Structure 1
Amino acid sequence: MIAAAAPCCGGYPLGAQTLEGAALIAAAEGHVEAFRARAERHDRDGSFPFQNFEDLRASGVMAAAVPREQGGLGVSSLRDLMVAISRIGRGDAATAIAANMHIAGGAVIVRMMRRAQAQGDVETAAALTDLLVKVGREGVVLCFPTTEPGTDLASPACELTPTEGGYLLNGLKIFATISPAAHLFFPSVRIPKDGGGYLTGTVMIPRGAPGMVIEDNWDALGMRASGSNAVRFVDCFVPAAMLFGVRDNYAKIGRGFADFALIANLPLISAFLGIAEAARELAAATVTGQRKGPSAKLLGDRIPIQMLVAEIDIDIAVCRALIDRLGTIADAFLQRYPENDAPIDEATFLMKEVQCMKYVVNRKAIDAVDRAMIVCGGAAYMNGHPLSRLYRDARAGPFMQPFAPYEGLEYIGKVALGRGPALDR
């Protein structure tokens, strides 16, 4: 039985459900203050926090999902990964989302390895095991660029063309988070089918491969230290053995998509809880230590301030409840289907629930930071105030995959009304 987390951040924060998860969350919490101290400089410069990732590697967080026999922490609970990423988000949300790109990718590889083992695919299982050893013991960093301009996750435009010994890859990926530190890249691709249409897959490309260019062009409103550069591929050679997970599901949000979306996106969404919790602590510290007006009354003693703080705590409670619920559901879902894809209807309905969570957590995080700024007053509007960074970071959430906000609502509504998951695009 894992002990409940001690009260902080306006209530009882989410704790671990497994012993391995408890160790991970404790390690993540140990980095918060150092990351917070570095965040302002990296945000202002738009620079990548390499030291943060050295720290995460040294504490074992970067190998969180890697089994112990391959040198990792052996965390198998997706819910516990979600909580750990939210803790990192308290210190620096840009580091949290960049770390998640790598950590969740490792969890996906573990799942692929175990599925290959169960299906007797010895060659694939051995290759994936070797890759996990590189992550767990050698500190190799992974990047999974999937986003492209003008399309969506289910319909990659980066295309493989057959050539002698493998393929040539051409296309552009954007939002390749953690790219400054990554050693291996796993872009999603499409492969033309005989007779028309496409298959989808993922390829592995080492940093510095001929034909791959990492463009140092990340300059955004928020998440400025996430290293989410574009990556361009021009006749980049991919050996045939470096193509994985080929599926006949181009432009379909369905079978097989739920595994990736759960493992990658649920911890990503959870980073925004960390933003809200950090904003709440800043607001509470301000109003319990600052006096204002002719009476020099403590801000925390004023009823309107108390009401704003109450609304922040309500926002955070809602986020925690949804993260706890979806994390528990996701763990059960992944345990039910360790070797095969889930039934399409079940996967689709679970994706609807994930989108409900994403919509609410993203909005509540923005609301919580906005209220904290009101509580702290005009000082919070200055670039040097931490809430300025937290507000800009929080605004990134709704734009993150797999759906734009209006598409997320469309998806939720269509599935809820039994109209299927296909969007009008």
Structure 2
Amino acid sequence: MDFGRSAAQQERYARMSADARKLASASSAAGSGRDAWKDLARLGLLGAAVPQEYGGTGFGALDTALLYEAASEGGADTGVLFAAAAHLFACVRPVIEFGLPETREALLPALCGGELIAGNAMTEPESGSDVSRLTTRATRVDGGYLLDGTKSFVSNGPVADLYVTYATTDPDGGYFSSTAFAVDRNSPGLVAGAPMEKSGLAACQAGEVRFTRCFVPDDRVLGSPGQGQLVFQTSMQWERSCLFAIYLGQQERLIRRCVHHVGERRQFGKRLAELQPVADRLADMKLRLESGRLLLYRACTEIDAGQDPSLWVAMAKLAVSEAAVATALDAGRIFGGRAFQTEYGIEEEVRDALPATTFSGTSDIQRQLIARELGL
């Protein structure tokens, strides 16, 4: 079993980490304009997991995760990377795996190039973790469906050109009750709401999307009618693994900053690094990072091997998200009062880490999935 990166992976990682420092200066543009999306496309982050025939790089899950980890480690804004990851994993991947050939040809090159921005419209005001009871309805009509309902917390929602959304098509269908759709922003009856105010991941705008008798043609159905749960779960395997590589990079960056800080800062007549409680805290931070990294890489490897990655994906998402929050809070303790000063950026790191245990399925949901895989 090889735990090392190949020479090609090491080269790509170093190059992406260096390029990410340039991207960091354009952090706010992801929410307000197209410049950052063009930069993300140029760096290959929007098309990393897209076949080359559609303008992507053709990477598997592991190589894609390494790119996102490197971009985060190099200093790219967490919100910008989250926006890109939501675009790629929750929206582009379903089009790749479940779209008709003509739909893939029409959408994927522009999605890879940053000309089109995608938003993931699954969550509803009364349906967060329980995705089996969607109140958004899709009614069959000649040539397609009419969508009615409201989606909330739509990542990239206010700026998206395309929405991958899910609606109930058969209320009594159980697992096969919902269907997935790729809906153009300019579709009559679709209204994207204003950006909501958030405390973290500010560069990724989110908001409501409302459908009122919004017509979606048959060629924009992803998969077959009734396969909404399958489409969503498949996208979540990519999101819960590859997206959370962003938080590996964030932890690596925070640990590096903390090590530098404790080497220079003095208290009680000695460097902070010489105080055992401080050293113990940093050791725990490193342990959490490397444990989560091994789980995440294993989850990605299972995806690439075509195996059922459910157990490893749930464990990776749980471990990395919880570690991200704990490590950001520990960095705050190490920086002390300076953690409350915006110039140091620690408080922003905490705010960006906190949502990790909620989106893409809460930590409690991940524990339920792990227990299910154990046969409980």
TM-score > 0.5, shorter chain as reference? yes
- Where do residues 232-243 of structure 1 align in structure 2 (5 Å cutoff)? 232-243=210-221
Aligned residue for 1:29? 17
Aligned residue for 1:286? 261
- 1:154/1:271 Cα in 2 relative to 1: closer, same or farther (>3 Å)? farther
Offset of 1:399 from its aligned partner? 0.7
Aligned residue for 1:96? 81
Aligned residue for 2:252? 277
Q: 1:188 aligns with which of 166, 179, 184?
A: 166
CA contact (8 A) 1:28 1:61 kept: no
Partner Cα distance (2:33, 2:344) in 1? 19
Partner Cα distance (2:77, 2:260) in 1? 18
Partner Cα distance (1:107, 1:24) in 2? 22
CA contact (8 A) 2:69 2:245 kept: yes
Q: Deviations over 1:366-412 (max 9, x none)?
A: 111122111111110234431101111111011112x3333332332
- Where do residues 141-290 of structure 1 align in structure 2 (5 Å cutoff)? 141-151=117-127, 152-192=130-170, 199-248=177-226, 258-290=233-265
**Count of matched residue positions in the alignment of Structure 1 and Structure 2:** 369
- 1:127/1:22 Cα in 2 relative to 1: closer, same or farther (>3 Å)? farther
CA contact (8 A) 1:276 1:366 kept: no
Offset of 1:49 from its aligned partner? 6.9
Aligned residue for 2:56? 72
- 1:390/1:249 Cα in 2 relative to 1: closer, same or farther (>3 Å)? same
Offset of 1:84 from its aligned partner? 1.7
Aligned residue for 2:363? 405
Aligned residue for 1:365? 324
- 1:89/1:385 Cα in 2 relative to 1: closer, same or farther (>3 Å)? same
Offset of 1:238 from its aligned partner? 1.4
1:111 aligns with 2:77: no
Partner Cα distance (1:283, 1:187) in 2? 41
Partner Cα distance (1:92, 1:158) in 2? 33
Partner Cα distance (1:108, 1:47) in 2? 23
Q: Deviations over 1:305-334 (max 9, x none)?
A: 222222211111112111121111221126
Offset of 1:22 from its aligned partner? 6.3
If the length of structure 1 is used for normalisation, what is the TM-score? 0.77
Aligned residue for 1:11? none
Q: Deviations over 1:101-120 (max 9, x none)?
A: 1222333433336xxxxxxx
Aligned partner letter, 1:85: Y
Partner Cα distance (2:136, 2:349) in 1? 33
Partner Cα distance (2:350, 2:82) in 1? 15
Q: 1:317 aligns with which of 290, 293, 309?
A: 290
1:60 aligns with 2:56: no
CA contact (8 A) 2:240 2:314 kept: no
Partner Cα distance (1:175, 1:103) in 2? 17
Q: Deviations over 1:265-285 (max 9, x none)?
A: 211222221221221122122
1:354 aligns with 2:313: yes
If the length of structure 2 is used for normalisation, what is the TM-score? 0.86
Could you tell me which runs of 5 or more consecutive residues in structure 1 were left unpaired when the two chains were aligned.
Answer: 5-14, 114-123, 335-346, 420-425
Aligned partner letter, 1:397: A
Partner Cα distance (2:108, 2:314) in 1? 30
Partner Cα distance (1:133, 1:414) in 2? 38
Partner Cα distance (2:11, 2:193) in 1? 36
Aligned residue for 1:118? none
